[in-house]
Amino acid sequence: MLKFISMKLGLAVLVALTVSFISFILLYMAGDPAVSIAGEGATAEVIAAVREQYGFNRPLLAQYFEWLMRALSGDFGMSYYFKTPVSDMVAARLPVTMTIGALGMGFALVLAIPMGVLAAAFPNSWLDRLALGIAVVGQAIPSFWFGLILIVIFSVNLGLVPASGTRHWTGYILPMIVLGYYATPAIMRLTRAGMLDVLSADYIRTARAKGLNWRSILFKHALRNAIIPVVSLAAVQLGFMFGGSVVVETIFALHGAGFLAWESISRNDLPTMQALILIFSMFYIGFTLLADILNAWLDPRLRSG
């Protein structure tokens, strides 16, 4: 188990380093950062001075390592646009994103797992068809449009929840539904497929033959085995949801890290963009690593692989 964890950890660190290099180089390619800091209409001298001051004239690798070392100590530099330290802004904005991410994942799990179990328990019943319908619609509905439609119905027409902001806790309801529904189809399909597999296994037949309660067979015996791949998927989806928070936070004007990403991207604020791409990647890597370890703990067969 220790060997398994250290191997996965080593791989995660390698992936993280590669991602950090890509996010550094990606924005470096975009053009001369000195020009964008100096602003429009700056003279050549001003640009040269900025280049000197920010150290843009040094070798690329040297700049990367310095940026990485600073990033590791939590210093992502100053925002070009907001003129405040990037790490302060990100720290202030992350809680909102994490809250809607956690709420969205909770919503997805509460909807997808019971529906997936019931769909597998009663194949081709109306429950199965309903689950399939929810999944198919969820895959096809663009989340930004779904968000706007919910605002029209629940905020504008019914006046039940605020259309934007989080001054009141009800402001989290619609973002939770939009983000959660986005993750629902994949989780529900995997739960259903896993349950169908498990339910045809011999030990389930034995449990039924012994006269065990069907509900306890479903939710205790079968789900425990079918849930293992769902754990990894949920971790991956949670990572994607952080990326998806850009769209959801923009629609509902929630001032989280996703909204900050959109603000900084549309204003060419390179340090903030770099920091956010890196942080979102780290969350994804962390979640998947956690899922791998959790999986190995749940299913000893995976440890050797």
In 3D space, the residue among 13, 19, 227, 260 whose CA is nearest the CA of residue 117 turns out to be 227
> Could you give the CA distance from residue 237 to residue 235 in angstroms, rounded to a whole number?
5
Within 8 A by CB and 6+ apart from 70, the residues are: 76, 77
* Secondary structure of residue 150 in the 3-state scheme: helix
Asked if residue 25 binds another protein (CB under 8 A), the reply is no
Under rule CB under 8 A, residue 201 binds another protein: no
**Residue 66: CB minimum distance to another protein, A:** 21
Looking at beta carbons only, is 162 or 244 nearer to another protein?
244
- Rounded to whole angstroms, the Cα distance separating 184 from 187 reads 5
Contact pattern from residue 269 through residue 288 relative to another protein, giving x for each residue in contact according to CB under 8 A and a dash for the rest: ----x--xx--xx--xx--x
Contact flag: residue 145 with another protein (CB under 8 A)? yes
- 250 binds another protein per the rule CB under 8 A: yes
Binding of another protein at residue 5 (CB under 8 A)?
A: no
SS3 162: coil
229-to-44, 118, 187, 190 alpha-carbon distances in Å: 57, 18, 10, 8
Contacts of 214 (CB under 8 A, 6+ apart): 208
The answer to the question of residue 31 lying near another protein (CB under 8 A) is yes
- Toward another protein, which CB reaches closer, 21 or 219? 21
Smallest separation (angstroms) from another protein to the CB of 212: 27
Q: Where along the sequence are the contacts to another protein (CB under 8 A)? A: 11, 14-16, 18-19, 22-23, 26-27, 29-31, 136-137, 139-145, 148-149, 151-152, 156, 236, 239-240, 242-244, 246-247, 250, 261-262, 265-266, 268, 273, 276-277, 280-281, 284-285, 288
